[in-house]
Amino acid sequence: MFKSKQGNETLINEGLSQRQKEKWTIEGRGGGRMALLPLSTSFLQMPAWCSGWGAAVLGIATLAVKRLIERAGRVPDDEKPDQKPIDAWEELSLVSASPKLLRKSIEGVVMTQIAAATKARKAELSKPSSAIEEKPKVEVKRLQLCVSLQERLQQYYHSHVALSAEEVSQAQQQALDICTEIQGFLHTKHPDMPLGEMHLGGSLLDDLQVVTADHACLLVPLQIEDVLWKLIPGEETILSKPQFWMVRRVNLEYFPRGRSFWDKFMVGCYLSSNTIVEVLNKSVMETMNWPSISNTLECVVRPVMGSQELKLEIKNGQRQLFLSILPVIRLNDTVLTAQLEFTGNFDNTWYHSLYTSETTKLAELDEEDRGLRKQCLKILKAVCKTSPPLRKLSGGHLTNVILHLSEKEYDWTEAALADRFQQAITEIISYLEIGCLPSYFKQTVNLLSDFTEEEIDEIGFMLYCAISEPEILLQM
């Protein structure tokens, strides 16, 4: 556009109006190409003695041209179209302005940034208000839980733990019908076998079953002669296990083998629980016509295969009931059962059951002070039954915990139910820590002896969590 310095000087000498110069400057700010005209003109018209100042102006011009070229090739921001040009020209003004204007420009930029930061901070503070309130909500929830744990336990008991009288009655009747069939069959097949009257036992009969009526126990009493047989406590046997008793044949010199019907079930000089279970398994499980019995009772009855127990499964529609057949020896106050799931491969051992003594003691204590020990026990049983990590804790473990706790605490009224419930959890944890839960009636028996370290850790962790959050145990 301009070929020489002389041509430019001629143009200036002809007297450019101030209005035209301003127009060029404005146009220069509006478009990158037109900005070259006034800036180059200003540089070309400088005398030689102003070369220093001219270098500065040239630097400013170069910066401006660079900014304009970058802006021309940049995609416009739809959300904030004016934001970037303003910021760029603010930077340019800071470079070229006088000290006074420079200070004002800096103040303007700083104030703009402060205002933007303040606005962003306000928005940030407005968002976490709910998060800040979250912790107090948790505290309120815990407070409400502490206040209402008593009511929550009662609600859980009535809606989830206690069984209806109709459900219990139907389950008992089904079990009794099976009991009648088995007893009649055994009397026909083994008429000389001295058996007592078969009857139901266990938690279904003692109002200690929870959640659903799904199992019952059929007791088969073996009538042995107290003159010919003697019960040997577990401490006096070679195994030295307090709960594993033996039944020894005595007075053989006066009453030789064959005088007792049970002599044929001996191994050595001891009555074998394993042999009796095998005989009943062949006579009852494998020989009885279960399809015919199912048609008679209008339900499906079939043996449970692959189990050490003598167990039957009874299905009536959606309801399922398991019936365990349990040979029992009772002499004086001692009750021995043939439970291979406890005694294992020891053929001559019998399990010393304290179930009757424990449940009787529990009922007596509640009757004396009208307490709620049984209700507390049933809540604990339901919690352990519905929580997989706690299923290893059986009704026997929990009954002994309640009986031990009754020695320390005498207030078992409804108002103290929540305290006793939490205290029972704490007691269980303390027993797990030492790996020992003594039997209430036989202190030498450790009810946790068959627990592995992994099982103890898993149960302990779950109960530790329940100390601060009991609600996790009461999920329905």
- The answer to whether position 109 is within a domain reads no
* Predicted confidence (pLDDT) at residue 75 exceeds the cutoff of 70: no
Confidence band for 468, pLDDT divided at 50, 70 and 90: confident
- Per-residue pLDDT at 70: 58
| CA-angle at 339, arms to 334 and 345, nearest 5° | 115
Query: In the listed set 335, 353, 371, which residue is the last one of a domain according to the structure?
Result: 353
The domain tally of the chain equals 3
Residue whose structure tokens are 């320390």: 408
- CA dihedral over 204, 208, 213, 215, signed as positive or negative: negative
d(CA 287, CA 253): 38
- Per-residue pLDDT at 67: 59
Find the range with the poorest average confidence among 50-54, 172-176, 286-290. 50-54
- The answer to whether position 41 is within a domain reads yes
More confident residue, 50 or 176: 176
- The answer to whether position 111 is within a domain reads no
pTM check: above 0.75: no
Residue 135 and residue 60 share a domain = no
pLDDT, mean of residues 196-203: 93
Nearest CA-CA partner of 95 in 109, 79, 82: 109
- The answer to whether position 349 is within a domain reads yes
* Predicted confidence (pLDDT) at residue 95 exceeds the cutoff of 50: no
Query: 300: domain CATH number?
Result: 3.30.460.90
Name the residue range of residue 208's domain. Answer: 165-353
What is the percent of the chain with per-residue pLDDT over 90, rounded to a whole number? 59
Nearest CA-CA partner of 449 in 342, 326, 336: 342
- Per-residue pLDDT at 308: 81
* Predicted confidence (pLDDT) at residue 128 exceeds the cutoff of 70: no
Residue 326 and residue 223 share a domain = yes
pLDDT, mean of residues 7-13: 43
Residue 374 and residue 334 share a domain = no
- CA dihedral over 442, 443, 445, 450, signed as positive or negative: positive
In the DSSP assignment, the letter for residue 195 is B
More confident residue, 332 or 68: 332
Chain mean pLDDT for the chain: 79
- CA dihedral over 313, 314, 315, 318, signed as positive or negative: negative
pLDDT, one tens digit per residue, over 309-334 is 899 999 988 899 999 999 999 998 89
- Per-residue pLDDT at 178: 95
Residue 294 and residue 387 share a domain = no
Query: 412: domain CATH number?
Result: 1.10.1410.40
Query: In the listed set 96, 113, 136, which residue is the last one of a domain according to the structure?
Result: 96
- The answer to whether position 451 is within a domain reads yes
What is the percent of the chain with per-residue pLDDT over 70, rounded to a whole number? 69
- Per-residue pLDDT at 74: 54
Residue 314 and residue 232 share a domain = yes
* Predicted confidence (pLDDT) at residue 452 exceeds the cutoff of 90: yes
- Per-residue pLDDT at 341: 86
Nearest CA-CA partner of 239 in 270, 212, 210: 270
**Burial category of 402 from C-beta neighbours within 10 Å (exposed 0-12, middle 13-18, buried 19 and up):** buried
d(CA 330, CA 350): 12
- The answer to whether position 233 is within a domain reads yes
pLDDT, one tens digit per residue, over 339-364 is 988 888 788 999 999 999 999 999 99
93, 64 contact by CB (below 8 A): no
pLDDT, mean of residues 16-24: 43
3-state secondary structure of 302: strand
Residue 349 and residue 362 share a domain = no
- The answer to whether position 394 is within a domain reads yes
Confidence band for 147, pLDDT divided at 50, 70 and 90: low
pLDDT, mean of residues 174-192: 93
pLDDT, one tens digit per residue, over 204-239 is 999 999 999 999 999 999 999 999 999 999 999 988
Query: In the listed set 292, 319, 353, which residue is the last one of a domain according to the structure?
Result: 353
Residue 256 and residue 184 share a domain = yes
Residue 376 and residue 339 share a domain = no
* Predicted confidence (pLDDT) at residue 152 exceeds the cutoff of 70: yes
Structure tokens at 103: 């200070």
Residue 268 φ/ψ region, left for φ over 0, alpha for ψ in the -120 to 50 degree band, beta for the rest? left
pLDDT, mean of residues 426-436: 96
- Per-residue pLDDT at 118: 53
Residue 341 and residue 287 share a domain = yes
Residue 207 and residue 252 share a domain = yes
More confident residue, 93 or 267: 267
- Per-residue pLDDT at 476: 55
More confident residue, 296 or 137: 296
Residue 322 and residue 195 share a domain = yes
- The answer to whether position 334 is within a domain reads yes
- Per-residue pLDDT at 382: 96
pLDDT, mean of residues 81-86: 44
Residue 366 and residue 326 share a domain = no
